[in-house]
Amino acid sequence: MSESIPASTSPRIAVYAGSFDPITHGHTSILRSGLKAFDKIVVAVLYNERKKALFSVEERIELIKAAVVEMGEDPARITVDSFNGLLVDYCETVGANIILRGLRAVADFEYELQMANMNRHLRPHIETVFIMADDAYFYVSSNLVKEAAKLGGDVYALVPEAVAAGLKAKLLTGTSGQ
Ligand code: ADP
């Protein structure tokens, strides 16, 4: 009889960090797959003063929370937060030893590889794990969604419902997040 592998007692916590300006179905697709591999995922909005955003950090957090409700996943397994500074430091503060990243087109690869290597150099015990989005959302990015929406394009099937409503409201008022 084969011996069973002892289950690890500590929960596998992954941090999924990004701008999420706004969250798209590319992101929710990664989250859904990530939940198959990890017990908990911390979605962490990177707060970057230098980067001009359409949605404020607070708005992005609210939209992610609404997207999680729409996804119908157990909300206890996904927490939403924001951070600035080094991602590996943030991982330690939330007890995560996995960085979850999504892979899109080949264009993402080089930058992702550099970042994963740097993070491994900084904290060898933190592992970066890449997941591919559902192919329906492979080409979706927050930037493209915003650009298309601004020009009147119908992008609403590519984002959670709360984001579609948020985009409409933003584009009507013409305000930005920062
Ligand atoms: P962007 O603003 O470029 O859409 P973020 O900075 O919010 O992306 O990205 C956070 C993470 O989600 C990154 O790992 C990014 O590669 C991933 N991601 C975003 N959109 C997709 C997608 N459509 N497919 C796969 N991964 C994605």
pLDDT digits (tens, 9 = 90+) for 126-153: 999 999 989 999 889 999 999 999 999 9
Q: Which atom of ligand 1 is nearest to the CA of 141?
A: 4
Q: Which atom of ligand 1 is nearest to the CA of 145?
A: 4
**Helix/strand/coil for 132:** strand
Contact 144, 23 (CB under 8 A): no
51 is catalytic: yes
Residues in the chain: 178
Calpha distance 178→53 (Å, rounded): 6
104 is catalytic: yes
Calpha distance 89→46 (Å, rounded): 13
Summarised one tens digit per residue, pLDDT across range 80-93 is 999 999 999 999 99
50 is catalytic: no
Please give the model's pTM, rounded to 2 decimal places.
0.91
27 is catalytic: yes
Answer yes or no: is pLDDT of 178 > 70.
no
Residue (of 125, 148, 154, 112) closest to 18 by Cα position? 112
Which residues, 6+ apart, have CB-to-CB distance to 159 below 8 Å? 22, 23, 24, 25, 145, 167
CB 141 less than 6 A from any atom of ligand 1:
yes
What is the CA(6)–ligand 1 centre distance, in A? 34
CB 20 less than 6 A from any atom of ligand 1:
yes
**Helix/strand/coil for 72:** coil
The residue whose C-alpha atom lies closest to atom 26 belonging to ligand 1 is: 102
CB 142 less than 6 A from any atom of ligand 1:
yes
Name the catalytic one among 32, 65, 77, 104.
104
Summarised one tens digit per residue, pLDDT across range 6-59 is 666 788 999 999 999 999 999 999 999 999 999 999 999 999 878 889 999 999
- pLDDT tier for residue 109 given thresholds of 50, 70 and 90: confident
Share of the chain above pLDDT 70, in %: 92
**Helix/strand/coil for 55:** coil
Residue (of 170, 158, 144, 152) closest to 60 by Cα position? 170
What type of residue sits at position 39? D
